[in-house]
Structure 1
Amino acid sequence: MKKLLYLLALSGLAFACSPKEEAIDYTKMTDEERLKAATEIARSTIMVDGHVDLPYRMKVGGFTLQREILDVSVRTPDGNFDFPRSKEGGLDAPFMSIYIPAVNQKIPGASKALADSLILMTERLASAFPDKFAMAYSPADIEANFAKGLISLPMGMENGAGIEDDLANLEYFHKRGIRYITLTHGTDNLIGDASYDTTGTHGGLSPFGEEVVREMNRVGIMVDLSHVSDNTFKDALAITKVPVIASHSSVRKFTPGFERNMSDELIQAMAKNGGVMMINFGGSFIDSAYAAGADKVREHIVNWLAENNLTRQDSAAQAYIQEYTAQNNPFPTVQKVADHIDHVKNLVGIDYIGLGSDFDGVGDSLPTGLKDVSMYPNLIAELLKRGYSKEDIEKICYKNIFRVWKAVEEYAASAK
């Protein structure tokens, strides 16, 4: 009996001392092997994108449930998002942007009315195609939908003007399914100052905006600091009791003078708060040279169209625009997006990074290799090439944003 126990002990010791299975070294793979591995990771891992402008695209494109104009349950010839391409790219939970243009702020009631209509449109998409899409109001919902093979449709409101001047609308929109609110958009609003506006109406958050942030904490809506001015950003961080997000922002170091992106100081402050910065893919967000070139190309094309009595819709104009743009201002590449992720990782760590593409919201400026939702594996492959681990990728894809979201949920539950 003792001999048997001794032999069992030896075998257990041998097992305990055996080296762990070595982690896969993706850096030693060929590009083809790495892309295959990246595709497998993308499709087997929950992937959240902080900002996809599909609802407004559906509004502009004439959304219909009868498949007459725009039906994203099937592959579409334009735009960046649809169900088949989402499945190819491994996208599982694109935050649907309930986008309120700044012009609506000038008309009392217009912002809230538009928000309600876009929310309804998103809900109708899920109800019309229940075998493909489902609403999601929590990380748990996304996990359940993922297990069923469904694309989750969480919602975030882009521009806090949607609440009008009534704090009670925050609880109303939470009940409607809104899980983050971008405090401002293109111009200053009642909540605070915007990055694109130089007016500095409030010098940061307004007194009303301070109450908005507190109430968002209380009801369980994530505070989104994309689009806000630096002063608004700092004011919000000083008030919030929970981590915040930037749903679609990139690194200002690569775009000097572009306040819409985040400075190193703001990135560090957000990390200290425990928040998550979700990287925007738009060409002007990731490459200042492309942004400058785009301005020159745009000016030339406007003049050329006028001289030739053409519009952008004319086939001859489209061919010329495509050729001229390619020759005079080549798109940035997927490597540029990886550079932004690298910078945030090196500055504050892997725990504060997410994806916020701005698909369907940045026009044709998207980089080569990231033109639509089918192409996330190209970015993942580039990160693997740079030494990122599978665990790093999982954090970027969903674990970091889930951590923030759950913290917001828990705080709201404790505040009730």
Structure 2
Amino acid sequence: MADLEDDPHAATAAVGDLDSPVPPSTRVPAGQPEQAEPAGSLERARELLAAHPIADGHSGLARALKYASGYEYDIELGERVLETDIPRLRDGCVGAQFLSLHVPPELTGERALSATLEQIDLVRSLVASCPEGLRLALSADDLADARNCGRVATLLGPVAGPALSDSLGTLRAFHALGVRSLTLAGTSWTQGTGLTRFGHEVVREMNRLGVLVDLAGCSADTMRRTLAVAGAPVVVSHHPARVPDDVLGLLRANRGVCMVACTATTIRETADRLDHVREVAGPESVGLSGAYDTGTPHAPGLGDVSCFPRVIAELLDRDWPDPDIEALTWSNVSRVLREAEFMARATQPRRGPSTATLPALDA
């Protein structure tokens, strides 16, 4: 299944839309024009987000910066050419972001590995250049510390599975560099029955390290098989289609999180998808993914990272209770990271680094 970022030029092709004013929107009858949300709902949304900010499950900022050559961006003061900058992260009440390290799909093998390492270096340099706005996060504690200091926690990942080049040693090297999430889609070991023997070993090694398993873009069979194998909670960071209900049920049992992307045609449709995941998987298994700077179109009123409070205002209008809002925005992501870390600490004394290779297991 195609990833949201398949087009290496997409991140810069769609950014011109930001030059036009974006009207606010709220829940309205299908076919009717979007109208401004009640001021009270938006104010209440911002009050909740002040204590429980958005943990955005998938941002394309790193790739947008990497592949938009010939232009110097100013993320700290404001950059309207992109959909993300620090002033708008603050306006959007964003407390944490996973910065995707996916590379153009035509890059394979050593080229994909090299391009991924360059993006890791880019993100680390970006964070270092914006110490008053960003902070690198390697753990759930780092996430909380960044929030408490008024910084946006920046997490490295997901890395695209093909960038591993079928090497568990490369996975360990990525983890040592700070990567905390990896997408399984697009690999030879997620084909056929959904997850090969080597794929099982990759998931086990990710659990041993504390790297989140990201099922975005995977087939339903791969999702089911991975959820049967994974010992730690998994995430679905930006799946382009509706996750099957039976998989959402398995995700609930796994205590994982399905992050709904703000890429529907209206804010109302985004809220509908959040309602569905919450109903089927439960309030502890739903999260938000902006999918900004990935080249994917967004609904009117959701044009950049400053617009997250409008989604929360819509959910308040649908009578979501405060605890469910708090779980959606921050607590679920923080918990998944913490439980993955706990799993790693419990596993490492009993299981050393895996020496498995793809030819040996999947011959």
Q: Normalising by the residue count of structure 1, what TM-score does the alignment of the two structures yield?
A: 0.72
For 1:337, give the aligned amino acid: T
Taking the aligned partners of 2:197 and 2:261, their CA distance within structure 1 comes to 30
Aligned to 2:235: 245
**Does 2:317 align with 1:361?**
no
Larger radius of gyration: 1
Alignment partners' CA distance in 1, 2:168 and 2:159: 17
Task: State the alpha-carbon separation in 2 of the partners of residues 191 and 51 from structure 1.
Answer: 23
Q: Which residue of 1 aligns with 2:256?
A: 275
Q: How does 1:54-203 map to 2 (within 5 A)?
A: 54-62=61-69, 69-105=72-108, 108-184=109-185, 188-193=186-191, 202-203=192-193
1:79 shift after superposition: 2.2
Q: Which residue of 343, 354, 372 corresponds with 2:304?
A: 372
CA contact (8 A) 1:61 1:69 kept: no
SS in 2 for 1:101: coil
Q: Does the CA-based 8 Å contact 1:39-1:377 persist in structure 2?
A: yes
Give 2:244's aligned residue.
263
Letter of the aligned partner of 1:103 in structure 2?
E
Question: Unaligned stretches of 5+ in structure 2?
Answer: 1-36, 349-363
Contact 1:160 1:191 in 2 (8 A): no
Alignment-mate amino acid for residue 217 of structure 2? H
Provide Cα deviations, 1:293-346, integer angstroms capped at 9, x if missing partner. Answer: xxxxxxxxxxxxxxxxxxxxxxxxxxxxxxxxxxxxxxx211111100111122
Q: Distance in 1 between matches of 2:316 and 2:158?
A: 33
CA distance in 2, matches of 1:225, 1:128: 32
Contact 2:155 2:179 in 1 (8 A): yes
The residue type paired with residue 189 of structure 2 is: I
Q: Post-superposition shift, 1:390?
A: 1.9
Q: Which has the higher contact order (CA 8 A, sep 6+)?
A: 2
1:339 aligns with 2:272: yes
CA distance in 2, matches of 1:376, 1:78: 19
SS at match of 1:80: coil
Deviation at 1:102, TM superposition (A): 2.3
Give 1:165 deviation, angstroms: 1.9
Counterpart AA for 1:59: K
Instruction: Please give the alpha-carbon distance, in whole angstroms, between the structure 1 residues aligned to 2:105 and 2:202.
Output: 18
Distance 2:228 2:159 in 1: 21
Which residue of structure 2 aligns with residue 9 of structure 1? none
Q: CA deviation at 1:100?
A: 2.5
Deviation at 1:237, TM superposition (A): 1.1
C-alpha distance in structure 1 between counterparts of 2:285 and 2:216, whole Å: 15
Residue by residue over 1:268-287, the C-alpha shift from the partner in whole angstroms, topping out at 9 and shown as x without a partner, is 1111211110001223xxxx
Q: Any residues of structure 2 matched to 1:15-30 within 5 Å, and which?
A: none
The code of the aligned residue for 2:225 comes to D
Deviation by residue 1:227-247 (Cα, 9 ceiling, x = unmatched) = 111111111112111111101
In the TM superposition, residue 114 of structure 1 has moved relative to its aligned partner by 1.1
In structure 1, the residue matched to 2:322 is 390
Question: How far, CA to CA, are the matches of 2:262 and 2:132 in structure 1?
Answer: 29
Aligned to 1:351: 284
Paired with 2:149 and 2:139, the residues of 1 have a C-alpha distance of 16
How far apart are 1:71 and its partner, in Å?
2.0
The count of corresponding residues between Structure 1 and Structure 2 is 312
From 401, 411, 414, the counterpart of 2:333: 401
Q: 2:74 is paired with a residue of what secondary structure? A: coil
CA contact (8 A) 1:100 1:161 kept: no
Contact 1:282-1:358 at 8 Å conserved across structures: yes
Which residue, out of 193, 216, 219, partners 1:226? 216
What value does the CA root-mean-square deviation take over the aligned residues?
Answer: 1.6
Identity among equivalent positions (%) equals 30
Query: What CA deviation, in whole Å up to 9, does each residue of 1:346-405 have, x standing for no partner?
Result: 223211100112111143x10112111101110010001110122211100111121211
On the 8 A contact 2:140/2:335 being kept in 1, the answer is no
Distance 1:241 1:149 in 2: 33
Quote the offset at 1:157 in angstroms: 2.4
Deviation at 1:118, TM superposition (A): 0.3
1:48 to partner: Cα distance = 0.5
Q: Which amino acid aligns with 2:244?
A: S
Larger helix share, 1 or 2: 1
Amino acid in the other structure paired with 1:339: D
Looking at structure 2, the residues matched to 130 and 353 of structure 1 have their Cα atoms a distance apart, in angstroms, of: 30
